[in-house]
C-alpha cells in the first residue's frame, strides 16, 4: 500500500501520465470533431500510422521537426478528405469506409517505408523533440517536472483542447458543426452547406488524429516501427464516448487513461514476479472497454451520427 502511495506522490508518475495521454488527447479531439459533425471516422487507426510515418519521414529528410508536424497534419487531412468524400457527398457506409481507410493507410505507409528503406537492420532515427526548459517554471518543485519539462507537442495538445473547446462552445462555427451532427436538415434550412461543414470537420479532425501519430515517432520515440500505433486509435474511439463529445472531458478521459497506464507500468515492476507481465499489457484495452460500458448507457450520441444526408431528400 505504501508503495502505491509513493507512486502517486512522485512527480515522475504524473509526468509520465501526461506524456502517455498526449497522443490520445490529439486522437480523441480528432474523433470528437468528426463525430460532432455526424461522421464516425474508423480511419483513425490508419491515420495515426500516417501521422507517425509522414511526420517522422519529413523530419528525417529535412531535419525540421516542426515541418514534420505540419506534414503529418496535412497528410492526415488528406486521408480524412478521402473518408469525407466517400461518406459525406456519396453517403457510403461510414463503418466500411473507415475500416478501408485504416487498411489502406496502414498498408501504404508500410509499403512506402519498406520501399524507401529496404531491409535496414537498425531503423533510421531522428533527433526527437526535447523536453522544454522554461526558465524558472521548469525548476518549480513537482509542477516543474510534471508540466514544464514536457515536449512542445504535449503543450500543443493542451492548447488544442482549449482551442477546440472555444470553437465548439463559443463560436458560430462550433454551433454549426454541432447542429450538423444533430439535425442536418435544420442546418440546410438556414442556408448553410451540410456537405461542406461535415467535410471540413472530418478533414480537420483527421489532421488532429495524425498529430497523435506524429507524437509517437517524433516525441515519444525517435523512429518508425510497424505496429507502433497498436490500437491507440481504437482506444480514442472508446474515449470519445466516455468524454460525451466534449473537449474538456476528452482531456480528462485521456489523462485518466494515461494515469492508469503509467500506474500499471509501475505496478508491473513491483508485482512482476507474482503476475505475468502480459496481464499489465492488457490493462489499457480492458480499461477502454470498461470506460465504454460505464459511459454507454447515458451516452448522448450526436443524433445524426452515421446518417448520410442528401440534398433535396425528404
Residue 63 or 272 with smaller CB distance to another protein: 272
Instruction: Please report, as ranges, the residues that interact with another protein according to CB under 8 A.
Output: 42, 86, 90, 92-93, 95-97, 99-101, 103-104, 106-108, 110-111, 114-115, 118, 230-231, 234-235, 237-238, 241, 276, 278-279, 281-282, 285-286, 288-289, 292-293, 296-297, 299, 310, 312
**In the bound complex, what is the minimum distance in angstroms from residue 14's beta carbon to another protein?**
26
Q: Please say which residue, 153 or 295, places its beta carbon nearer to another protein.
A: 295
Q: Could you tell me the smallest distance in angstroms from the CB atom of residue 71 to another protein?
A: 18
- Between 7 and 92, CB nearer to another protein: 92
- b/e code 97-132 from CB counts within 10 Å (16+ = b): bbebbbeebbeebeeebeeeeeeeeeeeebebbebe
Q: Which is nearer to another protein, 2 or 297 (CB)?
A: 297
Least Cβ distance, residue 290 to another protein (angstroms): 10
Q: Nearest 10 degrees: CA dihedral of 18, 20, 21, 27? A: 150
Nearer to another protein, 121 or 278 (CB): 278
CB of 218 to another protein, least distance (A): 23
Instruction: Check: CB of residue 59 under 8 Å from CB of residue 67.
Output: yes
Non-local (6+) Cβ contacts of 66 within 8 A are: none
Is the alpha carbon torsion for 133, 136, 139, 143 positive or negative?
Answer: negative
Task: Compare residues 61 and 281 and give the one whose CB is closer to another protein.
Answer: 281
276: its cell numbers: 505475468
Contact 41, 206 (CB under 8 A): yes
Q: How far is the CB of 181 from another protein (least distance, A)?
A: 16
Residue 75 to residue 54: CA distance in whole angstroms: 7
For residue 171, give Cα distances in angstroms to 64, 164, 168.
Answer: 34, 10, 6
Closest CB to another protein among 90 and 186? 90
Stated as kind and residue range, the H or E segment containing 278 is: helix 277-296
Of the two residues 108 and 143, which places its CB atom closer to another protein in the complex? 108
SS3 annotation, 199-250: HHHHHHHHHHHHHHHHHHHHHHCCCCCCCCCCCHHHHHHHHHHHCCCCHHHH
The minimum distance between CB 92 and another protein, in angstroms, equals 5
The DSSP-derived string for 152-207 is: HHHHHHHHHHHHHHHHHHHSHHHHHHHHHHH-HHHHHHTT--HHHHHHHHHHHHHH
| Shortest Å distance, C-beta 101 to another protein | 8
Q: At what angle do helices 247-271 and 2-9 cross, to 10 degrees?
A: 130
Q: How far is the CB of 224 from another protein (least distance, A)?
A: 14
Q: Which three cell numbers stand for residue 9?
A: 506522490
Amino acid at each position: 500500500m505504501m508503495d502505491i502511495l509513493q507512486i502517486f506522490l512522485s512527480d515522475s508518475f504524473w509526468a509520465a501520465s501526461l506524456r502517455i495521454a498526449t497522443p490520445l488527447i490529439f486522437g480523441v479531439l480528432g474523433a470528437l470533431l468528426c463525430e460532432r459533425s455526424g461522421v464516425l471516422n474508423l480511419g483513425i487507426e490508419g491515420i495515426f500510422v500516417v501521422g507517425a510515418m509522414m511526420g517522422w519521414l519529413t523530419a528525417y529528410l529535412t531535419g525540421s521537426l516542426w515541418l514534420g508536424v505540419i506534414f503529418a497534419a496535412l497528410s492526415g487531412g488528406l486521408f480524412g478528405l478521402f473518408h469525407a468524400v466517400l461518406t459525406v457527398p456519396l453517403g457510403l457506409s461510414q463503418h466500411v469506409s473507415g475500416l478501408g481507410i485504416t487498411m489502406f493507410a496502414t498498408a501504404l505507409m508500410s509499403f512506402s517505408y519498406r520501399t524507401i528503406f529496404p531491409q535496414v537492420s537498425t531503423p533510421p532515427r531522428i533527433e526527437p523533440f526535447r523536453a522544454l526548459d522554461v526558465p524558472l517554471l521548469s525548476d518549480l518543485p513537482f509542477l516543474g517536472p510534471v508540466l514544464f519539462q514536457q515536449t512542445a507537442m504535449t503543450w500543443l495538445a493542451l492548447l488544442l483542447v482549449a482551442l477546440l473547446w472555444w470553437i465548439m462552445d463559443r463560436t458560430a462555427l462550433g454551433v454549426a458543426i454541432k447542429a450538423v451532427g444533430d439535425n442536418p436538415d435544420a442546418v440546410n434550412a438556414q442556408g448553410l452547406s451540410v456537405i461542406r461543414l461535415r467535410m471540413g470537420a472530418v478533414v480537420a479532425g483527421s489532421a488532429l488524429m495524425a498529430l497523435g501519430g506524429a507524437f509517437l515517432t517524433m516525441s515519444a520515440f525517435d523512429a518508425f516501427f510497424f505496429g507502433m500505433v497498436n490500437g491507440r486509435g481504437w482506444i480514442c474511439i472508446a474515449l470519445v464516448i466516455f468524454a460525451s463529445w466534449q473537449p474538456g472531458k476528452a482531456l480528462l478521459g485521456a489523462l485518466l487513461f494515461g494515469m492508469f497506464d503509467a500506474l500499471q507500468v509501475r505496478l508491473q515492476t513491483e508485482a512482476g514476479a507474482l503476475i505475468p507481465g502480459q496481464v499489465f499489457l492488457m490493462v489499457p484495452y480492458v480499461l477502454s472497454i470498461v470506460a465504454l460500458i460505464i459511459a454507454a448507457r447515458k451516452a448522448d450520441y450526436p443524433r445524426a451520427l452515421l446518417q448520410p444526408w442528401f440534398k433535396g431528400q425528404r
